[in-house]
Amino acid sequence: MHIRLKTNILAAVLLCFAFVAQAQQKKDITLEDLYKKGTFRSQSVYGVNWMNDGRYYSSQVPDEKNKVYDIVKYDVTTGKPVSTIIEGENLVPAGSNQPIQYDDYTFSSDEQKVLFSTDTEQIYRRSSKAEFYIYDIASKKLTKLSDGGKQLYASFSPDAKRVAFARENNMFVTDLSNMQETQITTDGKFNSIINGYSDWVYEEEFSFAKGFHWSPDGKKIAFYTFDEANVPEFNMQMWGELYPQDYKFKYPKAGEANSTVKVSVYDVNSGKTVKMDTGNEDDIYIPRIKWTNDANLLSIQKMNRLQNTLEILHANVSTGKTNVVLKETDKAYIDITDDLTYLKDGKNFIHSSEKDGYNHLYLYNMNGKLVRQITDGNWEVSEYVGYDEKNDRLYYMSTEVSPLDRHLYSISSKGKKKQRLTDKEGTHRVNMSNDFKYYLDYYSAANTVPTVSLHTAKDGKLIKVLEDNEKLKSTLAQYDIAKQEFFSMNTADGTKLNGWMIKPTDFDPNKKYPVLMFVYGGPGSQTVTNSWGGSNYLWYQVLADKGLIVVSVDNRGTGARGADFKKITYANLGKYEIEDQIEAAKWLGKQNYVDKDRIGIWGHSFGGYMTLLGLTKGDGVFRAGISVAPVTNWRFYDSIYTERYLKTPQENAAGYDENSPLFFADKLQGKLLLIHGTGDDNVHFQNAVAMQDALIDANKQFESFYYPNRNHGIYGGNTYMHRFTMMTDFLERNLINPGKTVVNQ
């Protein structure tokens, strides 16, 4: 063979190897991938409305030809469309030639009418107002619900004859037979009296905005009235105009006056309203109202201001008279849930409680006498799903396998025949059909992208995978992805803490790496779960690629491990939580592969608060920290949340002050980046201003950044891209490559 031929063959072989190597080379994730391009956006199954016959559900489907959304009926057994219930192009209101662009829809109980919301305006976290339309499926007629202005929480009556709604602090009801609108209340007044929806603090901390409920027979409406006249007003400035605009709203800070709350019932036939008797004490909470299956009997949950006593009242709605059927007390506090369920037999109800040390389900008769404890064990019922009375199967999610996992179980009301219905390790979230025949399983795990599948409820059998996110899997396969690994550590007193860790893909155990700890740490929360981590998990991939180990540890006070573990922080919020995070940092510093002089911490909201505590109380264990939207003094935060865990400032001043970063600014060690949105209605910008003032007084240097008009989530437009670029740059300068100037583009 000629030398030239050998040379050509060798060159060809080398070129081939080069192409193979190039094909196998993985890409690095960029911030643009995450916050501009949406490269790793996962898909799901949205807008599923189960129909009366549990074999079918409806969903919004884009009609590309007509540029509208149709409502399509699907057979759950096949996952295939059966028929189009509503053609989007038919949703044309009178006086227009264009169909409405709706945001959401709701069927009436007989599935003959549909309520559409359009032009929705978000108010706070859970509140919104919109223009609503009624569509009659038979006649294909679309009718505007009201011409009096946007409505809040429009809802069909159970008999499908009426729609109730709130507007401008008052309640209304419309008769669908003639579209006659009746005003139920007239005393509503801005920043004073609210009828039919909640005030700011109930919405945020008791997790509801709609404040009315139809009776089972559709003839009565139970509704809240909030008198917030004496609640102090908070003022924010909104920027952008020549003169900044004041935005004022009622916000009760810890120890300040709350709204007084009452519950009334309106009879649509007689037009009469009856106030329910909740006692003579005004300084109380009514976190839930719920109709029993008796249209004359309303259930009212009442709490004292410290939230350590819960009473369930049964009210005769004709007279307003009430009696206490169940009273529960706790040495710390009681969490409110939506678990209370009245059975169709009219004799019993199901209620959840932590009274045995873990959250479990209990069966009571209508007089409040305990029939039996249904679930039992050193694990938590994390969510009550529902009760199939016909087959005596109660469905719930629990932590029985692990505090890191969530699985679906069924059990009889006698506490027998318990069955685990989900098998894959990880986190399952279910959407159960109304007749308890089927459920959608929204599943993910650490390092495993979300999937959605359809199952039979009686045995958990898989019918069909509705979304497998294969596109996302294929995309991720092209990138260098570091695995999320779980670990546990013991504190000095023997308490086991759970954590996860993400190491660089080229991790070398003989090298020493910087560490960034991610923390939230608030009461009942969890950051350490066996679930897909979303955009934060992918940002950590960017950091790992830069040589950073990312860690998260759930401290005492977090959830899924029983009441004692969670409630140890009562009256001393921040104390045990930061002790555990500091101890975790020290434990990490002892690992052979960790550079103990380059450990950082970051968090948002409660995690921002924890970051400040770490830098001020950590005695230098943290080299750098990023605190986003932190509470800096619990006296600045709202009454319901803060007093639940700390009592009032008047009763527990030390609990407020001994763990407020404001009072330890002079002890700041390490580099700090403080970020806040000026339009934060939840954790006010006031917190950041006060912290900066304290740091200035202590002559402590720090970095800060504010986002104009952004709320607590600090998002919108290019905000995420800007924020995470800045945060990445800060970590490179102060943790990954200290002293080296780094600018991320």
- Coil, strand or helix: which one is 350? strand
Backbone angles phi, psi at 236, to 5 degrees: -120, 150
Give the list of residues 6+ apart from residue 1 with CB closer than 8 angstroms, or none: none
Residue 684 is a catalytic residue:
no
Radius of gyration of the chain (CA): 28
- DSSP line for 525-559: --S--SS--HHHHHHHHHHHHTT-EEEEE--TT-S
Which residues make beta-bridge pairs with 183?
172
Which amino acid, 66? N
Active site residue 722: no
**Contact between 358 and 364 (Cβ < 8 Å):** no
96 is catalytic: no
Q: Listing from the earlier edge strand, what are the strands of the sheet with 624-628?
A: 484-490, 496-502, 549-553, 513-518, 594-604, 624-628, 671-677, 703-707
Cβ 128 vs Cβ 197: under 8 Å: no
Closest by CA to 361, choosing from 331, 337, 344, is 337
Tokens of 635: 């006296």
C-alpha to C-alpha distance for 307 and 643, rounded to whole angstroms: 8
| Cα–Cα nearest to 581, from 618, 550, 547 | 618
Catalytic choice (108, 352, 605, 639): 605
Cα gap 418→392, rounded to integer Å: 12
CA 518 to chain centre: 18
Instruction: Name the residue type at position 423.
Output: D
In whole angstroms, give the CA distance from residue 547 to residue 635: 40
> For residue 15, how many other CB atoms are within 10 A of its CB?
10
- CB within 8 Å of 405: residues ≥ 6 apart: 399, 425, 426, 427, 529, 530
3-state secondary structure of 84: strand
Q: What is the DSSP string of 609-643?
A: HHHHHHHHHSTT--SEEEEES--S-GGGSBHHHHH
Question: Could you give the C-alpha distances from 570 to 333, 566, 575, 662, in angstroms and in order?
Answer: 8, 9, 10, 20
Determine the Cα–Cα distance for residues 431 and 191; give it in Å rounded to an integer.
38
| Sign of the CA dihedral running 690, 694, 695, 697 | positive
Residue 376: Cβ within 10 Å count:
13
Choice among 330, 405, 554, 680 that is catalytic? 680
The answer to whether 588 and 614 are in contact (CB under 8 A) is no
Cβ contact 161:190 at 8 Å: no
Residues belonging to the active site: 605, 680, 712
